[in-house]
Structure formats: C-alpha cells, structure tokens
C-alpha cells in the first residue's frame, strides 16, 4: 500500500467512526457542553472520588471501590472497612529538603492504610511529588499516579519505593474500571449508568481511543498490515507537535528580546518538549530571582493546560513586600507565583498548547499565528508596564 493510500484509508475509518457517533446520538456529552473536559479537580477527581466513595450518591456501597482496588491490584492489601474519601487532602506543608508534604487529589483511608491518588490530565509532576506522597503514612501507604496515557517521560521515583506506587492511566485502568462498574449497575439506575457512559466517552476522546469496536479493529488491522509506515508515523507524531511548540516559543522569545527594555534579560526557561515550558523576563539584578514569566508553551505545567503571564518569586523572598505594593489590587497567587493572569487568544478562546487541533491551526494558519503573537505580546506588555517598577524597587 502506498503512503497516500494508507492515509486515505485511515481517514475513511475515522469518517465511519464519526458517522456511527451521529447515528447513535453520541455527540451529546454534558461534560463537553459545560467545558469541563480537562478540569482535573472539578471534573475528573470529583467524579472518580464520588464513585469510589462507599457513601456516595450512587447508592452502590463499596462496589465501585472494590472494583477499582481490583484493577489496581490493591486488593486484598487494602481493607474495605471504615473507608473514607477526601478530595484535595493536605498532608503537610511542602518541604523539598525533607521531601514531604503536599495536597493529594484523591485521598483514600480506612483508619490505618492510605492510598494517595494523584490525578494528572495535562499537568506535569510537581517537585518530588510522588516521593513526597510516599513518605506520608510510610509503610501503610500506596501512591497511584494517574495520567491520560501512561506516558512516563520525566517521571522519576527512587528505587527504594518500588512496589509502593504505580503509574496508571485513563486509557487503560480507568476505562477498564468504569466498564466493569457499568456491568454491575442495575437497569433501574439508568441516570447513573448514563452518566458513567458519557464519562467513558469523554475519556476515550481525551485519550484518542475509538469507541466503535469495528473501527478500532479495522484500524488495528491496517496498522499491522503497514507496520513500518505506522512506526514512522508514530515516532514522528510527537516530534512534529513538539517542533511547532518550540518554534512558537522561540518566536515569542525573539520578539520579547527586541522589545523588552535593554537592561532586562529575556531567557527561555524550559523548552516546549516537557512540562512548564517558559520564558523568563529578568530585571537587571537577575540574581534576586523575582522575575516575570510566561508559560506554558507545552500545555503541561503548574497551571495545568492554561497559558499565563505573571510574576514568580523563585526563592520565596518577596511575597509580603509584593503584596503590600499591590494592596489596592486583587492578586492571583499560586505556589511561587505572586500574581498571574490567564491569557486567552485574540478570539477570546483558551490557549492550550497540548491541543493537537490548536497546534495544527497555529502551524497552517499564518494570519492566526501572527495575530496570536501580537496579542500575547500586547497582553504581556500591558501587565509588564503595570508591574515592572515594583519589581525594580524590590530587587535593587
């Protein structure tokens, strides 16, 4: 099969998949309508935790929890007696020297044993995050690190914790668990069943998993019959997207370098092939490490998939002074960021550099790309001009 014929066949399979969705009325999804599809806490953690809760509104007792523990191989280790579920559980102040503390997305406990489930849709791992959670209730604790597709890039955990944590995915673990939940729900619980079904549809869309078994089977057959070409496409798919992100980050950097006052320094922080891809704008005394920043050009970072401009206090030295200087203003704070603004595009749509369709438009639509670059620079310089005098005073 020629390359062109291969891609034409893939297009045909996807076209049939979309036609089947329309025929089966699968376009309606309440999570997408409410624009909650990528919100880790308000959507995914909240929905999963409610199903796991033996006292949840599903009225299924610990049935769903037991199934979850089975698919994650935590039965019979974890006792089902006296289980409590808590969202955003604080387990102590973050201490990077002792590698302790943090806020766990979903915390499962039974009075003696604990399970810390860290939920990552588009965000990257925080500093020593898995190891910090592993040190909580050490000896009677297990950590589950949940991502969309079990992409382990950048995930490093000390070997001494082997067997005490597991990397699980929405694509495999969560879909498998939810389908098992669906199988045990009585028909009278149709609202519950339909809610889980819509959530499964959402996850399959986020993970690029085909819903229709025939389409999935046809695609699998096509890949196997053209394994070399499929390998090349798979290997280069990520590189193409990373290249688009890196080029755009470089373009914004080059413009900033020309337009920021000469005594300020512009530097690329992390590149767009990993989490927290950023550009730093540093005052003349850059060693003070109170900088302006723009991130994330990778769609994965401290602000999940959001694109922001703000002021970061790398050494946590200027928080009180900065707050006093802007006492008449409402500041948005997060960790070492003393203030930040979310940047949308010039069409008032969210910027997500982890969205493939957005990256395709960014690459192919020159007018959109130029307008977006100008818009980002305008928003940044409006922010910079309001705050740079304070930064200079604090760091001089």
272-296 pLDDT, tens digit per residue, is 888 889 999 999 988 889 999 999 8
Q: What's the pLDDT score for residue 187?
A: 84
Regarding predicted confidence, which is higher, 14 or 332?
A: 332
Q: What's the pLDDT score for residue 390?
A: 92
Q: What's the pLDDT score for residue 124?
A: 63
Q: What's the pLDDT score for residue 127?
A: 74
* Whether residue 23 has pLDDT greater than 60: no
Band (pLDDT 50/70/90 cuts) for residue 308 is very high
Cα–Cα nearest to 293, from 271, 272, 277, 305: 277
* Whether residue 218 has pLDDT greater than 90: no
**What percent of the chain is modeled with pLDDT above 90?**
51
Residue 315 contacts residue 289 (beta carbons within 8 Å): yes
pLDDT-wise least confident of 107-116, 228-237, 247-256, 346-355: 228-237
Nearby residues of 3 by Cβ (< 8 Å), 6 or more positions away: 229
Residue 122 contacts residue 305 (beta carbons within 8 Å): yes
Instruction: Report pTM.
Output: 0.61
* Whether residue 267 has pLDDT greater than 80: yes
* Whether residue 34 has pLDDT greater than 70: no
Q: What's the pLDDT score for residue 276?
A: 87
Q: What's the pLDDT score for residue 122?
A: 65
Looking at residues 260-277, what average pLDDT do you find?
Answer: 91
Work out the mean pLDDT of the chain and round it to a whole number. Answer: 86
Q: What angle do CA 209, 216, 223 make, to 5 degrees?
A: 105
Which strand ranges, in their side-by-side order, compose the sheet holding 308-313? 265-268, 278-282, 290-295, 308-313, 337-342
**Which class for 306: exposed (0-12), middle (13-18), buried (19 or more C-beta within 10 A)?**
buried
* Whether residue 321 has pLDDT greater than 80: yes
Digit-coded pLDDT (tens) for 131-161:
999 999 999 999 999 988 866 555 778 888 8
Q: Which two tokens stand for residue 144?
A: 């589950």
Cα gap 215→16, rounded to integer Å: 7
**What percent of the chain is modeled with pLDDT above 70?**
86
3-state secondary structure of 295: strand
Q: What's the pLDDT score for residue 283?
A: 95
Digit-coded pLDDT (tens) for 165-214:
999 999 899 999 999 999 999 988 888 998 998 899 888 888 877 555 66
Residue 381 parent element (H or E): helix 366-395
Preceding amide of 296 cis, omega within 30: yes
Q: What's the pLDDT score for residue 273?
A: 83
Cα–Cα nearest to 23, from 234, 159, 240, 211: 211
Q: What's the pLDDT score for residue 374?
A: 96
Band (pLDDT 50/70/90 cuts) for residue 396 is confident
DSSP per-residue codes, 304-339: BT--EEEEEETTS-SHHHHHHHTTTSPPP-BTTEEE
Residue 146 parent element (H or E): strand 141-147
Cα–Cα nearest to 199, from 377, 23, 32: 32
Q: What angle do CA 71, 124, 147 make, to 5 degrees?
A: 20
Alpha carbon separation from 127 to 84, 94, 343, 352, 390 (Å, rounded): 27, 10, 25, 23, 29
Looking at residues 118-141, what average pLDDT do you find?
Answer: 85
Distance of CA 298 to the CA centre of its chain: 10
Residue 299 contacts residue 122 (beta carbons within 8 Å): yes
Q: What's the pLDDT score for residue 355?
A: 85
Digit-coded pLDDT (tens) for 334-369:
888 999 999 999 988 888 898 888 999 999 999 999
Residue 292 contacts residue 384 (beta carbons within 8 Å): yes
pLDDT-wise least confident of 6-10, 67-71, 224-228: 6-10
Residue 309 contacts residue 292 (beta carbons within 8 Å): yes
Q: What's the pLDDT score for residue 210?
A: 54
Cα gap 54→108, rounded to integer Å: 11
Nearby residues of 84 by Cβ (< 8 Å), 6 or more positions away: 108, 109, 110
Looking at residues 160-165, what average pLDDT do you find?
Answer: 90
Q: Which two tokens stand for residue 305?
A: 């998939």
């Amino acid at each position: 099969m020629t390359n062109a014929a291969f891609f034409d066949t893939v297009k045909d399979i996807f076209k049939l998949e979309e036609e089947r969705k329309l025929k089966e009325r699968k376009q309606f999804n309440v999570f997408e309508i409410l624009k909650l599809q990528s919100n880790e806490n308000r959507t995914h953690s909240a929905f999963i935790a409610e199903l796991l809760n033996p006292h949840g509104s599903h009225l299924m007792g610990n049935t769903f929890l037991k199934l979850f523990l089975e698919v994650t191989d935590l039965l019979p280790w974890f006792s089902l007696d006296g289980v409590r579920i808590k969202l955003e559980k604080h387990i102590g102040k973050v201490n990077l020297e002792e590698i302790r503390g943090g806020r766990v997305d979903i915390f499962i406990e039974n009075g003696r044993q604990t399970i810390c489930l860290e939920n990552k849709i588009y965000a990257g791992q925080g500093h020593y995050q898995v190891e910090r959670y592993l040190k909580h209730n050490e000896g009677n604790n297990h950590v589950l690190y949940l991502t969309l597709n079990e992409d382990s890039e950048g995930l490093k955990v000390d070997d001494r914790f082997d067997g005490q944590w597991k990397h699980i995915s929405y694509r495999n673990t969560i879909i498998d668990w939810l389908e098992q939940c669906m199988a045990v729900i009585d028909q009278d619980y149709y609202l519950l069943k339909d809610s889980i079904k819509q959530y499964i549809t959402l996850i399959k869309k986020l993970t690029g998993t085909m819903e229709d078994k025939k389409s999935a089977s046809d695609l699998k057959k096509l890949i196997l019959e053209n394994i070399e070409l499929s390998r090349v496409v798979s290997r280069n798919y990520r590189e193409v997207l990373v290249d688009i992100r890196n080029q755009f980050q470089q373009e914004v950097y080059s413009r900033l370098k020309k337009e920021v006052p000469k005594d300020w320094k512009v530097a690329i922080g992390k590149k767009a092939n990993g989490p927290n891809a950023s550009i730093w704008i540093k005052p003349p005394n850059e060693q003070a490490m109170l900088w302006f920043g723009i991130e994330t050009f990778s769609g994965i970072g401290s602000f999940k998939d959001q694109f922001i401009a703000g002021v970061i206090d790398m050494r946590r030295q200027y928080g009180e002074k900065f707050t006093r200087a802007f006492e008449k203003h409402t500041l948005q704070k997060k960790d070492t960021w003393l203030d930040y603004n979310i940047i949308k595009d010039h069409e008032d749509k969210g910027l997500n550099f982890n969205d493939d369709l957005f990256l395709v438009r960014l690459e192919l639509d020159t007018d959109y790309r130029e307008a977006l670059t100008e818009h980002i620079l305008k928003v940044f310089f409006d922010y910079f001009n309001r705050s740079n005098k304070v930064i200079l005073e604090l760091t001089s």
